[in-house]
Structure 1
Amino acid sequence: MSPRPMRILLMGDYADDPRLGSTKVYYKLREELNRLGHDCDVMLAQEIGRWPRASKVRWAIAPALAARAVARSGKRYDVIDVASAEGSVLGLRRALSPGGEIAIVSRSHGLEHRNYQRLLEDHAAGLVRKRWHRRWWYPVARLSQVALAARWADRMIVLNDGDGEFAVARGWKPRAAVDVV
């Protein structure tokens, strides 16, 4: 346990259903962190913002919605553990105002860039047809922000060595700042 209890926010743009994969991770992690004496909150899609629901629009603005939701909460955190692109605006704000005491962790529940590459390979092989918005808009609106979130975070948590090496190879983080869980 740390010398003092920490205030931790676990954040992801996921449905608030503890039976679902990524959301279940947050509920279980919150339970364990609270058991260890920390004050841990979970902020999911509903709290990040109910609008827009259309994924193509949400991909582009969810990071700004996430930063706004943290500010609106009025709570001060020691650590914000945020999934995927949603951490990019939080990281940018901190980069523009250095000296803050909030540690930002970029969490990946499966690195979108690697999944996107497999999607393109499947499309090229004729296995699955992916429309233009998935082949063009998704990398512009979403993948660019995932990379920025990783770069501007203090640490990165990934699920496997392949995702970790991908992030290191692209210069998002030094190896020592990437944790595989």
Structure 2
Amino acid sequence: SLGEWRDLEKHQFIKEEFAVSKVKKNKSLIGTLGPFYIPAARHEIKELVKKYDLRALNLEQEVLGSKGKLFKLSSDVKMPRCLLSYIGNGYREITDIESNWERSTVRIFNDDGYSPFILKYKKSEIEALPDFDIVMTAERIGTLGAYTHIRLPLVTQKFRKAMTDLKVRGLQYVPVELVD
């Protein structure tokens, strides 16, 4: 129920767990490039985030937006495989996340119909990763066609606080569940 979702969200944020950053609007320093929904940042943010020392943040890849030069919000660190089922065309489960991804028009996580979905990972696998404040999912998701599939950025509370301090609007944070 919605009440349980809100309780889970507060619980996860209090515990300093990770959060998915999903961009909703294109009215701030960070937005999305349609139709691909790639999170991108204006050049001003590159200087603003330096004082926060955000680990594994990569703002080097230039992309062209309608407002000029932008930078893809990304990371060189990639998450392990998510524990949620990952489904493609015909809602069949995808077991090999790298094979034939370019031919699939649909690639989504299945969280038994809950939206937004809560990604689940093994805590031990996350602890084995290099230190990060932003990391990308191993899986690509999208429903518009093969070349619109993107990896989702996952962020720590440190990243979330930096965006709050900088008054970056339009970001939605969803908890990630860690299990063992």
* TM-score of the superposed pair, with normalisation by structure 2: 0.26
By percentage of residues, which structure has more strand?
2
* TM-score of the superposed pair, with normalisation by structure 1: 0.26
